[in-house]
Structure 1
Amino acid sequence: MIETYYAGAYWPARQESAEECARRALIFFTTVSRSDDFFARWFIPPKSRRHAPRALELSVPALQELFVQGRTRNDEGGVIEDLGFYLSSDNGMRPGKHQGDHCSLRIQCGCYAKPISNVCVLSLPDTGPHREHVLTGPMLSSVLRAMANAWEPDWAIATSHDHREMLTERVRTGTFVGWVMYFPRHRGPVPSLPEPVRVEPVEELGTLVTLTPERFTVSNPAHLELAAHVQQVLESAGLLTPIKP
């Protein structure tokens, strides 16, 4: 089985307008595109197979319109205000694109209905030529850095779905250690961590922690041992408390 990966940023209730969400989304798209050309073009999924996907226009007015269109509605068609705005996109909807060689993105923002979290989650390539150079510690650090600058989340992580499944109980109760993590300043300082863990600042916002520069996998006992040790250290430092509702 191929180990698949994702990157996600999470933050608690934060009431924001569609325009504010659009401005943050534009920061994310613009910043992540600087990491690699693979992230430069995005598409809006069609409503049915009869329609072709359309290119995502990266401007505040265009993104604002999409967020407004993505609002959650009740059975009568009325907008549920406190659930904020939703946007989905994909960078693989092009003719001749290798199946699986793409990212899908979902954003929920402006939600202030407790205890629902706001999220920006990027599903990473599971096959194809881009998988090898995207699934590296430095590249995923760049992705989380873009998420941190755009969304100012309470926590962000890039790791494999298999690793998350191994930590099912931990996932339900709070944050957890994965391949690459982001901690905002308000969670506190990151303590000293063993080699080969890399710790680097994200401007004045917080800190990135990368367990290993090579691909983190659940099939590597050394990776799991390192993650368990870092988990203990970060828990003792109070950095892995649940996201506040």
Structure 2
Amino acid sequence: MTATSAPESYPETYYAGAYWGARKESPEDCARRTAGLLELLAECDPFLSHWYKPARSRKDARKHPLMPPDVPTLTGLFQRGVNREPGGPPIEELGFRFSFDNGGAAGDCATMRINGGMDSAAVPNHCVLTVPWRGPNADRVLTVSVLTKAVRAMVLSWDPDWALATSNAYERQYREPVSAPFSLGWITYLSRRIGTVPPLPEPVHVEQVEGRGTLMVLTPERFTVANPEHIALARSVRGLLAQAGLMPAATS
């Protein structure tokens, strides 16, 4: 596959995500983990300290805050998000879904999508945070400091197999193999269950996350597909991780 540059008219957007394999958990288990995540995210940046229940409009949502997080309330929301066939019983192995946001305007909003409690190899459990791409909130959040804390918060809350914060444009240009369980991001975490991270070249920063696994930060400045040095570094590190058996070989 040949990489092509993203159209200049489209802003480079980013997200953070954590992913893990089959793990049977109850709605209350998912609620406890989510409550812990929201508390940790609130420490990352003020923009990530207010969240609201799903509603028909932002005005309605602001009447129903999720902060401070309440486990019984979150448990009920996960119970409502049980996967089922229309009119049929719950499909227990497919777990529970819950999505919400922080009430921001288009381009200046954070959203959270969680699918937990799945005991199936068909689709990984996941927790995905999309972040703003314009305005002063984006200027603060789209930094190594904030996104590293956000990824760590996901790791400490959900104990995933892998997690990352990355550019959507980079993912579009360098698609992973269909069978790949994970890819490389601007910030990447690999659980020690996956294996041991090899030595990586500068300026990559590597740190441990409380005995759970390894977190890698490619660049201290914002990673972007417009910077060829960033792309070259990402492909080099991706290759080293593949050689160490931590990721499947890339196809592009």
| TM-score for the superposition, normalised by structure 1 | 0.91
C-alpha separation between the residues in 1 aligned to 2:31 and 2:39?
A: 12
State the shift of 1:171 in Å: 6.0
Q: Give the secondary structure class of the aligned counterpart of 1:238.
A: coil
Two-structure CA RMSD over aligned residues (Å)? 1.7
1:88 paired to 2:96? no
The answer for the alignment partner of 1:79 in structure 2 is 90
Could you give the per-residue CA deviations for residues 144-170 of structure 1, whole angstroms, max 9, x where no partner exists? 100000111011111111111112243
Opposite residue 84 of structure 2, the aligned amino acid is: R
Segment drifting more, 232-241 vs 192-201: 232-241
The answer for the alignment partner of 2:4 in structure 1 is none
The answer for the alignment partner of 2:243 in structure 1 is 236
Q: Give the secondary structure class of the aligned counterpart of 1:116.
A: coil
1:193 paired to 2:200? yes
Match of 1:154 among 150, 154, 161: 161
Q: 1:9 to 1:196 in 2, by over 3 A?
A: same
Opposite residue 234 of structure 1, the aligned amino acid is: L
Could you give the per-residue CA deviations for residues 206-233 of structure 1, whole angstroms, max 9, x where no partner exists? 1110000110000100000000110111
Q: Which runs of 4+ in 1 moved over 4 A?
A: none
Question: Counterparts of 1:21-32 in structure 2 under 5 Å?
Answer: 21-32=30-41
The answer for the alignment partner of 2:143 in structure 1 is 136
The answer for the alignment partner of 2:76 in structure 1 is 65
Counterpart contact for 1:99–1:128, Cα < 8 Å: no
The answer for the alignment partner of 2:7 in structure 1 is none
Segment drifting more, 223-232 vs 27-36: 27-36
Question: Counterparts of 1:1-245 in structure 2 under 5 Å?
Answer: 1-46=10-55, 48-49=56-57, 52-53=60-61, 54-57=64-67, 58-91=69-102, 93=103, 97-170=104-177, 172-241=179-248
Opposite residue 25 of structure 1, the aligned amino acid is: T
Opposite residue 84 of structure 1, the aligned amino acid is: G
Counterpart contact for 2:225–2:231, Cα < 8 Å: yes
C-alpha separation between the residues in 1 aligned to 2:34 and 2:167?
A: 24
Identical aligned pairs, as a percentage? 45
C-alpha separation between the residues in 1 aligned to 2:219 and 2:12?
A: 16
